């Protein structure tokens, strides 16, 4: 991934050149992580560039802000228009969009009172998240020694900047040990999620995933995959998942905006299932790709045209 092709950024209501999109070192969010953000993909569809489930992402942005008493000074419709403008002005057909709202510079103490809410949206071209290899052969993941924070500590359903410190520790440990990604357990030792992905297990032709009782962020991709599975007639169960269950799974895969649907090849030293991607993962991934490319018109309502 690289920012090289990104020329314009939306900052507090106006488009500015990339190099002008700067904030002061005294910004509250830099010190305490007091921001909320989204990660959204724009796809080059058969009908031109379109942003995948833009409304759902922006709704989650507002929901995340609410937890931190942050009043975003724009409406959802304004941010929707701004996201589309960023794609247009950069001339991208496909890209990854990053809206962020954070407490800016005024005074530094833990309570962000009086700090202005700054808003920005930028975009860049971002290919396969876990590398092209992860995309074709599956990701190699390990169980993290770091547990995912419990909802009594931080709202796991909020996508807030500082909350990612937990994920950073986990993925640094995983990469240091030669893996692609970390799997975090929840406080009780059941599966939570990846550092930036939700997890699905496939067993006996059905799929299983967990929910907010297991400290996850409610992924927009997770929701899309659940709907696709139901449309395919694949049974879906939502409940706790254990490590033993993952180890004995027929298949497993991650979902997320960045990873899309990525099969998991290996957990610690053990291979998962037989083929990667397994047949159910492949079937779901194929429909997901048909949906995001606009070829499967059943999911046309998930695509917000840029123009």
Give the interface with ligand PPE as residue ranges (CB under 6 A): 39, 167, 193, 196-198, 217, 219-222, 255-258
Stated length of the chain: 307
Of 45 and 209, nearer to ligand PPE (C-beta) is: 209
Report the residue number, 9 or 170, with the smaller CB distance to ligand PPE.
170
CB of 199 to ligand PPE, least distance (A): 9
The one catalytic residue in 159, 203, 271, 282 is: 159
Q: What DSSP letter does each residue of the chain carry, written as one string? A: -BSTT--EEEETTEEEEGGG----TT-HHHHH--EEE--EEEEEETTEEEEETHHHHHHHHHHHHHHTT---SS-HHHHHHHHHHHHHHHT-SSEEEEEEEEE-SS--SSS-TTPPEEEEEEEEB---TTHHHHHHH-EEEEE-SSPPPPTTTS-TTS-BGGGHHHHHHHHHHHHHTT-SEEEEE-TTSSEEEESS-EEEEEETTEEEE--GGGS----HHHHHHHHHHHHTT--EEES---HHHHHT-SEEEEEETTTEEEEEEEETTEE-SSSSS-HHHHHHHHHHHHHHTT-SGGGGGGEEE--
Residue nearest to ligand PPE according to CB distances in the complex: 39
Least separation in angstroms between CB 51 and ligand PPE: 13
CB of 67 to ligand PPE, least distance (A): 15
Please state, in angstroms and as integers, the Cα–Cα distance from residue 102 to each residue in 61, 62, 112, 115, 191, following that order: 11, 12, 10, 9, 30
Active site residue 159: yes
Minimum distance from residue 113 beta carbon to ligand PPE (Å): 28
CB of 14 to ligand PPE, least distance (A): 25
Return the active site residues.
Answer: 159
């Amino acid at each position: 991934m690289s920012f090289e092709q990104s020329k314009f950024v939306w900052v507090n209501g106006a488009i500015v050149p990339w190099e002008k999109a700067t904030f002061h070192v005294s910004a509250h969010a830099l010190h305490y992580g007091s921001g909320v953000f989204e990660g959204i993909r724009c796809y080059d569809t058969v009908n031109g560039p379109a942003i995948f489930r833009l409304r759902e992402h922006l709704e989650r942005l507002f929901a995340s802000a609410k937890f931190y008493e942050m009043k975003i000074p724009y409406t959802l419709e304004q941010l929707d228009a701004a996201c589309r403008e960023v794609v247009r002005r950069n001339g991208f057909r496909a890209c990854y969009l990053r809206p962020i709202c954070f407490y800016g510079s005024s005074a530094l103490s833990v309570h962000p009172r009086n700090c202005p809410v700054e808003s920005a949206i930028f975009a860049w071209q971002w290919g396969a998240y876990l590398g092209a290899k992860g995309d074709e052969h599956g990701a190699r993941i390990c169980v993290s020694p770091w547990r995912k924070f419990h909802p009594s500590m931080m709202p796991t359903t909020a996508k807030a900047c500082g909350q990612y410190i937990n994920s950073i520790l986990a993925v640094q440990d995983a990469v240091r040990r030669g893996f692609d990604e970390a799997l975090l357990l929840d406080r009780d030792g059941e599966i939570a999620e990846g550092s930036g992905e939700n997890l699905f297990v496939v067993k006996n032709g059905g799929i299983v995933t967990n929910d907010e009782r297991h400290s996850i962020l409610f992924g927009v991709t997770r929701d899309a995959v659940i709907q696709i599975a139901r449309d395919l007639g694949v049974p879906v169960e939502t409940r706790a998942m254990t490590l033993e269950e993952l180890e004995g799974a027929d298949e497993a895969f991650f979902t997320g905006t960045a990873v899309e649907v990525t099969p998991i090849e290996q957990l610690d030293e053990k291979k998962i299932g037989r083929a990667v991607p397994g047949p159910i993962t492949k079937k779901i991934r194929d429909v997901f790709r048909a949906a995001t490319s606009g070829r499967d018109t059943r999911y046309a309502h998930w695509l917000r045209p840029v123009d």
